[in-house]
Structure 1
Amino acid sequence: MPPKVDVLTYHYDTASSGVNSKEVLLNTANVNTASFGKVYTTPVDGAVYAEPLIYTDVTITAGVNTNVGAPGIHDVVFVATEHDSLYAIDAGVAGGTVLWKRTFLDITNPGGNVNNTLNATEIVPVAAYDVDSSEISPEIGITGTPVIDSDSNLLYVVAKTKEIIGGITHFVQRLHAINVADGTDAANPFLIGSTATCNANNFLSLCCLWWCTPLGKETNNTQIYVYGDGDGSVVDHAGTGNSIVQFNALRQNQRCALSLVLNTVYVQWASHSDNGPYHGWVVAWNVADVKGSTGFQLKGVLNTSPNNGLAGIWESGGRLVFEPDGSAFYFASGNGNGGAPTLDSNGFPANANYENSLVKVVADSTTNALNQNSNGWGLKIVDYFMPYNIVSLDLSDLDFGAGGPLLLPDSAGSLNHRHLMIAGGKEGKIYLMDRDNLGGFDSTGDNKVLNAVLNSSNYKTPPVQIGAALSTAAFFNGTIYWVSGQSNRANAYDINSTKTALMITSQTTISDFGDLPGSVIVSANGITAGIVWVMDRRANQIHAYDATSLATELWNSGQMSGDNLGSVVKFAVPTVANGMVYVGTRNSLVVYGLTALT
């Protein structure tokens, strides 16, 4: 038997490579209609926006969430839904059985489940109308992809709920540490924030009296705050008299995937359809002793727009990407309303606002919650890139941070530029950057990135090479694979020898994968038998292409009637491992594999 592969985090690894290079069962000769197809479908109770995760040889134990007959050793696929549920499903070729199901909506906290920490009388998912957005509909519960720690056998997940507390509606977000064996909490969940909204329905309640908060505003119960006078700011509750920006559990959308690096869990947020007040947030927790007496320890808070607003971190469901040693991480932010920055003497935005930016962050041990740097504490921004045309990006809603960054291995670099990464957004430009010098902001009109060329306005900037980057690319065998986010093709790119240009080397014959297909995945056996997996929201299908040329399609789920996928949600990412392909849909987990094995 070949060694089993675990997929414990979004897009396979902390670089977001999107590659499973240990896939020995699937290859370019057997992924076809004769030998490959749907093997089972497992219904679930809500839309699956999070990427399914795979953990093999898990010991399932009896408990309040576990189904009869489930205890034992299983390969498991974990699926999270917008109905605030987490499923552990048998991932085998004859699988599909639900082993346990955890709901985060039960107010009674049964048998090791800790949902209700605020004495709520009702807990339900957040409705789309609550956030005045149809982007995730009809309900919002778990959106960001969880992360699994194989050392502690814990899965970390953020659940968003709507709760009735003392007769008042609160919107709540919590970080949970879940035992993979039975779905129970390994520690008390961390209350990220509870936000009460003053509205006509509870106007006479205490929180809505005139001395508390104006009609239509929110009050926030949270430990997550930074100093600044940006959108939604209030006077510091610690009595310093300073203005602070607090985490708003209603407005903030936990869209991106969670990360776990060096015993630290990282979570980031953006908005629901730009409805404010909101900001870009990154929060870090030390989980080294999460099962012990200390539980979750808040380790750092970073805000991208402490003196303005917006600049959310959403990346079409992407993730933070980390240096191999975990010493720094990077993310891309979305639109802001501050325009071109005024720079300080060190070349950084004087107001500490990083909208439409690629940002590098490191730990900051010199600060704490009461002694902060310009963007928060425990984390600090040490380098950044901001496009020269930031004003037009803001005005045209062309988020630079619509796509997730991809950190490239050193083998992709050169003597002069050893540490490369790529990023891109709605504008369709792909930015090739040196991680040792991201380029900052150039007010003269040039983008100081490696592949900048003169455009028609005589400014240096990368050319448009994709029909909007609204996902994260994959990197395999020296080639970058990316699918357009707005009804266009998927392309393969190579980097030239001088690291000054990306060249399209092949593309799909299909010219329209619909609006907002998810990130590309590559499976391979080492550097051979590469298969590129692309979601298709126009036709509600998944496609498999030969990695040596995207012009060669091997298979798609529309070729045989029995392989029908169902309704594909936006930004859906398939997971390929151990000869199987797992896809979350609007109401199910659909699994494909070698039909001869079933």
Structure 2
Amino acid sequence: MRFSILIAALAMARQSLGVASYDEYRDADVSQSGYLPNHNMDPSVIDSSAFGQIWKVAFNPKEQFYAKPLTYTPLAGGRQLLFMASSQNWIRTLDAKTGALVNSRQVQTPFLQSDIGCADIPDSIGIIGTPVIDPSTDTVYFFAKTYIPNFRVPGNTGTANGVYYFHAVNINTLADVYPPVLIDGSKADNDPRKYFHGGVILQRPSLTQIGSVVYGSFGGHCDLFNYTGIVIGVDINKAKIVTQFAVESGPLTAQTNNLLQGGGGGEAGIWMSGMSPATDGQRLFVVSGNGVGHENFGAPASGSSGCRTLGESAINLAVDSSTGGLTLADYFQPYDYINMDGNDQDFGAGGLVLLDPATFSGGSIDKMAVTAGKNGKIYIVNANNLGGYKLGAGQTDGIIQTIPTGKSVFGAAGSYPLEGGYIYVTPVGYPTYVYELGFTSGGVPQFSKVAETNEISAGRVGVGVPTITSLDGQPGTAVLWMTDPDAGIRAWYAVPQNGVMKSIPMPQIGGANKFQRPAFGDGRVYTTDANGVLYCLGSPVNLPLNCTSPVDFGQVALGAKASRIVNCTATAAITSLNGLDIENDYFQASNASLPKGPLAVGAKFSIPVTWDLTNVQVINNDNASYSNVVPGIKSTPLTLFTTNAVAGFATLFPISLIGTQVSTKPFLAVTPSTVDFGGIIVLDPSSIEPNSGVVTIANKGLSPLTILGYSYTGDKLQNSPTYVNSTIKNGKWDMGPGFSAVTLPAIGSKIAANKAVSVDAAFYPTTGTGVYNTYWQVWSDGGSVSVTLEGSASTAPVANFSISNGHGGWLPQTNLLLDFGKVAPGSSSSRQIRLCNNGGSSLQISKSKPPYGVFHISDPTMLHESQLIATGTCAYGEVLFVANTEEYNQPDLTLNNSWTLNANDLTWGVHVIEITGTVVSNKVGPVNSTGQTVYNYLGCFKESTNGPRLFPNEPLAPSDNNSNGVCQTACLAAGKYAFSGTEFGTECWCGNTPPPLASFDPTDTLCNFACPGDSNDRCGATGWVSVFYDPTKYTKGTDPALYGPQVPKQVGNYKSLGCWSESTNGRALSDKTPPEPVGGFDLESCMTACQGYTYWGMEYANQCYCGNILGAGSVNQTSSDPTVNGCNMVCKGNPLQWCGGGSRLNLFILDGNEPIPASTSTVKTLSTTRPVSTSASTSSRTVSSPLVSTSTAPPTPTGPITVTNLPGWAYGGCYSEATTGRALNSVLLPIPGPNTDVETCATACAGYTYFGVEYGQECESELLLPYFLY
């Protein structure tokens, strides 16, 4: 049966509303057990030629799917839908049967990967965590990363402007159910200093819904920036945040407000390779990664101790049933978590799996959980008492079991609760390991490894999460599924047979995207590959027969046989039945039992099938050469082959045969066949901690089994080895050199029928470093079985790192700069990074975040996370610098990136390799006295089609020798023109008027004619001009207008405050209105006229206002875009400056740190060259006119003034209060109201980041400026 822990009300609602039973409207199940019995996945169909790729669908270029597909049947019924959400913030619904697009919508502009420099998710970052669908309302919930332009800093993009919204959309229409909820600025309940900043954080795990609250978990981007791992809960009925839990809190965690400071928020991100938090309805379980801050340091602590630095922890958060609030209830932090922090061995690389308590429980353990991460251990914990810190023997982990593997796991485990109970784990670059549930002599649950797949996973990060399906929960029908970055999708029969995992062939698809889990519908499986292609696998819908399946033989004793009847009905006209095939030889059926001739629709027939175990061997002995069948559940497909009378139907029909083999005699089974204790790294020979393992001794017969003895040998078993009896030495059973067990079933004791005993074994390198190997044997009256015990001990790995010098050698280890130097545009160069292992054991790369973009690695598998570097060997990474092509005469462009590395050498630490290089463009044309080119590239502009040309002067006749260098030389000689441009390849033009914004080509691709005099350069095109400019005459702007109007940050001794609205009553500035100077106002002339006032501003292009007080209702317009904020009029006296707009001022404030200009009496002359003739003429005229001629003494203030020059403080302006609570609330009213002035408030707020005064007598201070004031 399926392990379901949905809240009862939700489960009942789902049933009453009739949502299809085979829907998967969340990431797997709420417990994250990975067991899904409800999708009609029949192994006899899957393991047949009828199963294959039905369709595939590609989407946008560079669009990726990290969120898993969801399958859902709407409340109104009809077709099953596939819901898809992408990195580009596109959401879509498709017909789950045909793949046809139903609806699509882009909910937000995606965040750009280039703004964070972490290449884990390339190109764009939008919806990454898997959404969740509420089956009671047809509503899909998800978080999307995007921008709010000018939110924290000027600009449309940038890390600081990154935000997250919570969305609710109707799955039928994809329309918003309510407006998106902004998450940014919200504060953690358990530490208000921790506030949400969407630019530096990533919502990677799948979402979880408990009642009316949807929970999302957040981590970082490559551990960059200032972030804190958090869990946020949004009430979907109230459309508001109701809880926010910070993983790192309290005085010992890092806390700064520097956005770019790595570790500044404490880290401990929750990412779990995309898995969902597990829940049982009352609790939410998450696992965190590397943290900064160690409250637990030495002394043991219980899980209820309230630890506030929860990096590297499995965390149990109690859910308030009335509010949805989260509080810490319990945690487990490995005893060596500080070392894990140092080695980047994220515990949180995998999530936590709640196991089905109906199977996985025993003794005092009522509910179990499994988790694993990058540190090479699998942790089996008590879900009701996770284990705290150092509560085990010798201050180790106080948990149920630790399974050391020495191999990194991303995505934790999958489980199967039937047929005894199994868990599955797939380390990166290794097989999938299978562990079977057993019990100690005291009844405590223990897992032992019983099998592994022959196939190994990709040797790089991205291996998926094990997922298990069965046909309606029937034993014998379980299939294990895995996605793989190289192999695509894989499947096996989930229960091993004789220690072997039988593979099920899968159709070849593209390599799966990172950390995928297959999604299932009605007999179909869906996944996406690394190119954003969606695949649907399944069997044809049209089957010609309807037969009994599965056919259950029940229990059949070894040495006996049983028969069953398969009943079939034709659902399509069949010309003939061509035969049958059964894979397992012990099942028998005859072709002679099949009907002859054609079958009409509705025709019925029966097939007798026999399971014959009369000639099998029962006793289990080592090296037996005769047939040996192990008791247990068995399954096999019976396949019928047809020739159909109508097209469109399958020509084969699989039927599942299942049954349970039993032995009436005792039957010994010992698992696993090999116990690999892994390696022990010897740091201090006097203090070596042994590695543990589990051996399970089971009786699979129906009669009691008697233990006769134990022995071991170092000889090969096929060479008639000499055995040594195992005896008790120093209180432990000797299992061979280096191996021991505290307890074994006593010799002569009995193990009851179908019972098992788990034995805790240990490996300790008794003779020093080296490889240890022993064959250990169990004797019984149910046979004898040998188990291989193996382990190794070695000294620690030692990392030796270096960067190539570009000349065949290597730079010193201390050098962390990879400098490509100067390169030419369009060129490609490479440098190597080398990581060698000079130690005695394998060096494992625990973190690798290579560059992406212009700098990138040549092979994504180079120096990848979890890569092992053997002793005495080196691994290499090649960094390519592929410089973009560019126009001539560009300023040198210095580019930077980085590669972050760490390994399991405790003395090495995080290494950030800074990568830099400078692109030096080709230089042509005349040069000045300093050797710099007179003209720099400006851009590609469209030639004027109405009115004068962009540049009216043609110094040269069209020529087949034309080039930009030739043209620039001619323009300088003809009149020292400010602009030089080439067009049609052969034409050269000059001028002094900047080209207009409207004619600019932002793609820089339309000027594509090669210069006839230089084929490597571009000389415009038909109707397009390649423009170059003299930077001594014009300053290239930073906005797309290039030479469009600007607002300087500083004008004289005043600094810009941005664009402000007029006052709601009267003017914003009312103390003085200076008269218009000759030629009109510009910013400098208004500043001169208002010298001495606190504020001045320009409005309506030519109106200057001065004042000491800002009028009530005048507020800052947050956008810096003039088309948005309304300050969109150019100054009458200078068209290259903005001077306010309608009811909008470009406002400036006195800067006490800047001196008053030497003279307030100025005369400016504007010189421009304007064309007066056609392009055939070179004549022009110069117009000179005075702009300002005034002399004004500073006025004497007549009212209160704003203090703007206070030692140790910078004035920030006038702000409104918060909409809820206070804007500044760390310290309120530190001094009596009547004594309050600006200076005394500043003194009282020393040590805080911000202070403010309000209501004439209220003083307030705060460490952190609230997000809504940015």
Partner SS for 2:480: strand
Q: 1:58 to 1:449 in 2, by over 3 A?
A: same
Does structure 1 residue 18 correspond to structure 2 residue 23?
A: no
Does structure 1 residue 223 correspond to structure 2 residue 170?
A: no
Please tell me the residue identity of whatever aligns with 1:520: P
Partner SS for 1:381: strand
- What does residue range 403-418 of structure 1 map to in structure 2 within 5 Å? 403-411=350-358, 412-418=360-366
Q: Is this contact kept in 1: 2:129–2:207, CA < 8 A?
A: yes
Partner SS for 1:491: strand
| Structure 2 CA distance for aligned equivalents of residues 381 and 183 of structure 1 | 36
5+ residue gaps, structure 1: 60-71, 106-123, 194-221, 229-242, 290-294, 369-376, 452-461, 559-564
Please tell me the residue identity of whatever aligns with 1:463: I
How far has the Cα of 1:261 moved from its partner?
1.0
Query: Which of 300, 305, 309 matches 2:248?
Result: 305
| Structure 1 CA distance for aligned equivalents of residues 333 and 524 of structure 2 | 40
Residue aligning to 1:467: 407
How far has the Cα of 1:152 moved from its partner?
1.0
How far has the Cα of 1:362 moved from its partner?
0.9
Does structure 1 residue 583 correspond to structure 2 residue 527?
A: yes
| Structure 2 CA distance for aligned equivalents of residues 344 and 486 of structure 1 | 32
Partner SS for 2:412: coil
How far has the Cα of 1:428 moved from its partner?
2.2
Structure 1 stretches of 4+ moved >6 Å: 343-347
- What does residue range 129-148 of structure 1 map to in structure 2 within 5 Å? 129-148=114-133
Residue aligning to 2:231: 282
Does structure 1 residue 499 correspond to structure 2 residue 448?
A: no
How far has the Cα of 1:340 moved from its partner?
6.1
Please tell me the residue identity of whatever aligns with 2:187: I
Residue aligning to 1:73: 78
Please tell me the residue identity of whatever aligns with 1:593: G
Q: Is this contact kept in 1: 2:482–2:490, CA < 8 A?
A: yes
Query: Which of 239, 264, 267 matches 1:296?
Result: 239
| Structure 1 CA distance for aligned equivalents of residues 457 and 512 of structure 2 | 15
How far has the Cα of 1:36 moved from its partner?
0.7
Please tell me the residue identity of whatever aligns with 2:429: S
Q: Deviations over 1:74-113 (max 9, x none)?
A: 2101111101111101001xx11110012113xxxxxxxx
How far has the Cα of 1:465 moved from its partner?
3.4
Partner SS for 2:94: strand
| Structure 1 CA distance for aligned equivalents of residues 381 and 66 of structure 2 | 29
Does structure 1 residue 566 correspond to structure 2 residue 566?
A: no
Q: Is this contact kept in 1: 2:319–2:326, CA < 8 A?
A: yes
Residue aligning to 1:553: 503
Partner SS for 1:319: coil
| Structure 2 CA distance for aligned equivalents of residues 413 and 504 of structure 1 | 18
The normalised TM-score by structure 1 is 0.77
| Structure 2 CA distance for aligned equivalents of residues 514 and 439 of structure 1 | 32
How far has the Cα of 1:382 moved from its partner?
1.4
Q: Is this contact kept in 1: 2:415–2:467, CA < 8 A?
A: no
| Structure 2 CA distance for aligned equivalents of residues 225 and 32 of structure 1 | 50
How far has the Cα of 1:345 moved from its partner?
8.3
How far has the Cα of 1:4 moved from its partner?
4.2
Residue aligning to 1:334: 289
Q: Deviations over 1:374-395 (max 9, x none)?
A: xxx9321111110000111011
| Structure 2 CA distance for aligned equivalents of residues 518 and 360 of structure 1 | 24
Does structure 1 residue 246 correspond to structure 2 residue 246?
A: no
- What does residue range 164-563 of structure 1 map to in structure 2 within 5 Å? 164-165=149-150, 167-168=154-155, 169=157, 170-193=161-184, 222-226=185-189, 228=191, 244-287=193-236, 289=237, 295-306=238-249, 307-308=253-254, 309-323=266-280, 326-339=281-294, 341-342=296-297, 352-363=308-319, 378-411=325-358, 412-442=360-390, 445-451=395-401, 462-465=402-405, 467-476=407-416, 477=418, 478-497=420-439, 498-515=443-460, 516-525=462-471, 526-528=473-475, 529-539=477-487, 541-549=488-496, 551-558=501-508
Q: Deviations over 1:278-322 (max 9, x none)?
A: 1110011222x3xxxxx3132211000123301111111011111
Residue aligning to 2:136: 151
Partner SS for 1:394: helix
Root-mean-square deviation over aligned CA pairs: 2.4
Partner SS for 2:527: strand
| Structure 1 CA distance for aligned equivalents of residues 195 and 120 of structure 2 | 24
Residue aligning to 2:94: 89
Partner SS for 1:509: strand
Q: 1:590 to 1:466 in 2, by over 3 A?
A: farther
Q: Is this contact kept in 2: 1:315–1:403, CA < 8 A?
A: yes
How far has the Cα of 1:513 moved from its partner?
3.4
Q: Deviations over 1:120-163 (max 9, x none)?
A: xxxx3122221220001121111000000010110001111134
| Structure 2 CA distance for aligned equivalents of residues 303 and 569 of structure 1 | 30
| Structure 2 CA distance for aligned equivalents of residues 552 and 409 of structure 1 | 25
Q: Is this contact kept in 1: 2:65–2:86, CA < 8 A?
A: yes
Partner SS for 2:463: coil
| Structure 2 CA distance for aligned equivalents of residues 566 and 149 of structure 1 | 31
Partner SS for 2:455: coil
Q: Is this contact kept in 2: 1:466–1:484, CA < 8 A?
A: no
Partner SS for 2:209: strand
Q: Is this contact kept in 1: 2:361–2:445, CA < 8 A?
A: no
Partner SS for 1:359: strand
Q: Deviations over 1:153-183 (max 9, x none)?
A: 1000111113424753321210101101100
| Structure 2 CA distance for aligned equivalents of residues 138 and 485 of structure 1 | 28
Does structure 1 residue 56 correspond to structure 2 residue 19?
A: no
Q: Is this contact kept in 1: 2:347–2:375, CA < 8 A?
A: yes
Residue aligning to 1:117: none
| Structure 2 CA distance for aligned equivalents of residues 351 and 531 of structure 1 | 41
| Structure 1 CA distance for aligned equivalents of residues 188 and 200 of structure 2 | 14
Query: Which of 44, 49, 55 matches 1:40?
Result: 55
Q: Is this contact kept in 1: 2:287–2:347, CA < 8 A?
A: yes
Partner SS for 2:338: helix
Q: Deviations over 1:307-342 (max 9, x none)?
A: 33011111110111112xx11111111111224615
Q: 1:481 to 1:38 in 2, by over 3 A?
A: farther
Q: 1:84 to 1:347 in 2, by over 3 A?
A: closer
The normalised TM-score by structure 2 is 0.37
Residue aligning to 1:235: none
How far has the Cα of 1:566 moved from its partner?
1.9
Q: Is this contact kept in 2: 1:468–1:486, CA < 8 A?
A: yes
Does structure 1 residue 127 correspond to structure 2 residue 130?
A: no
Q: How many residues align?
A: 487
| Structure 1 CA distance for aligned equivalents of residues 304 and 342 of structure 2 | 22
Q: Is this contact kept in 2: 1:339–1:390, CA < 8 A?
A: no
Q: Percent identity?
A: 25
Residue aligning to 1:593: 538
Residue aligning to 1:200: none
Q: Is this contact kept in 1: 2:519–2:526, CA < 8 A?
A: yes
Q: Is this contact kept in 2: 1:58–1:74, CA < 8 A?
A: no
Q: Is this contact kept in 2: 1:48–1:81, CA < 8 A?
A: yes
